[in-house]
Amino acid sequence: MSSNPAKPIALYRSLADLPATTRGAVLAIGNFDGVHFGHQQVIADARALAEAKDAPLGVMLFDPHPQQFFAPDAPPFRLTRLVTRAALLAELGVDFTLALPFNAEMAACEAEDFISDILVAQLGVSAVCVGYDFCFGKGRKGNFAMLQDVAKTLDADKSFETRATQAVLQPDSTSPFSSSAIRNFLRDGDPEQAAKLMGHAFAIEAEVQHGDQRGRTIGFATANMPLDDYVLPKFGVYAVGAEILDGAFAGQVLRGVANLGMRPTVGTDKPRLESHFFDFEGDLYSANLRVSLLHFIRPEQKFDGLDALKNQIAIDSDQAREMLGS
């Protein structure tokens, strides 16, 4: 993944928040969950156009995801937090990310009105770049062909260019890079393949919460994190990498072993991620961590008591160290 780490993150939650300098931008539109290689190609095409026009490069996405609005009881599926997406997009050269709320008003917006009222009147876009399968507007009636047709009918001072990025195929495959494929690999317990599609490891970011501290009693202290609305990878034990995002140990990079799931030996009310970090001593409560699932070790299983669990964690830790080269 090409990077520009010095680029600041500019994330806006409404059209009213946008500074005047964003008007006339080249705008890539999509949800970009995971910012995988297909998404990166859309951004690359938009970036080239923005450079040619000497225009700012923006991304428009929707938060929450429209699927969450229409099917609020569906299983969680998020690959990346909004702020993480904005950071990854900034690394790709995006000047600003606009996350419009997807609510009843947006769901009822006709495709033609979305173009005329938002893209033209409020944003004054100079170009719009989308993926090959992009749809928008009430009932998903809008598509790239409509964008092209409407742009041609506008006065010269309001018209905009259009670009559609063709499907980017997975290596040695006829299947395109997609967020759905990444989710399927994670659900199958294959984080390596998911990472190949994303260009970076799948990671869970959350605040460390107080647990029952049972891990301390058996010599394996853990950082307990909720999964919120992330997609649920296969329950089991993983070799992980982690970065501490804030607090007293901010910036430290750790390696360890983690259990993701329902803790069948001791039980829990909902899935969580419990990570034991190697060669680290410190209080991580209330710190935000980014924990990357790197290798799947084994499925979850129930043990006959804490001694058996302790022995297995030791075995898992040795295997994780070997996998991680630490």
Residues 23 and 73 in one domain: yes
Q: Check whether residue 40 and residue 144 sit in a common domain.
A: yes
Residue 301 one-letter amino acid:
Q
User: Which structural domain, as residue segments, surrounds residue 236?
Assistant: 179-324
Residue 151: what pLDDT? 94
Q: What is the mean pLDDT of residues 17-34?
A: 96
Give the mean pLDDT of 178-202: 95
- Kindly indicate the confidence band of residue 174, based on its pLDDT and cuts at 50, 70 and 90: confident
Q: Which of 195-199, 211-215, 219-223, 224-228 has the lowest mean pLDDT?
A: 211-215
Task: Based on the fold, state whether residues 45 and 160 are members of the same structural domain.
Answer: yes
Q: Report how far residue 19's alpha carbon sits from residue 13's, in angstroms, rounded to the nearest whole number.
A: 12
Residue 4 falls inside a structural domain:
no
Q: Is residue 302 part of a domain?
A: yes
- For range 264-291, the mean pLDDT: 88
- Per-residue pLDDT band for 4 (boundaries 50, 70, 90) equals very low
Instruction: State pTM to two decimals.
Output: 0.90
Instruction: Please check whether residues 159 and 55 belong to one and the same domain.
Output: yes
Indicate if 152 and 247 belong to the same structural domain: no
Residue 150 is part of a domain; what is its CATH number? 3.40.50.620
Alpha-helical segments (H) within the chain? 37-53, 66-70, 82-91, 104-107, 111-113, 144-153, 179-187, 191-198, 214-217, 306-324
20 and 160 together in one domain: yes
Q: Domain total for the chain?
A: 2
Q: pLDDT grade, residue 217 (50/70/90)?
A: low
User: Whole-angstrom Cα distance, residue 188 to residue 196?
Assistant: 15
What count of other Cβ atoms lies within 10 Å of the Cβ of residue 29? 24
pLDDT at 213: 60
Question: From the CB of residue 187, how many other CB atoms can be counted at a distance below 10 Å?
Answer: 15
> Distance (Å, rounded) from C-alpha 85 to C-alpha 11?
10
**pLDDT in the model for residue 218:** 62
* Side chain identity, residue 194: A
Q: Considering the domain boundaries, does residue 306 fall inside one?
A: yes
Residues 222 and 154 in one domain: no
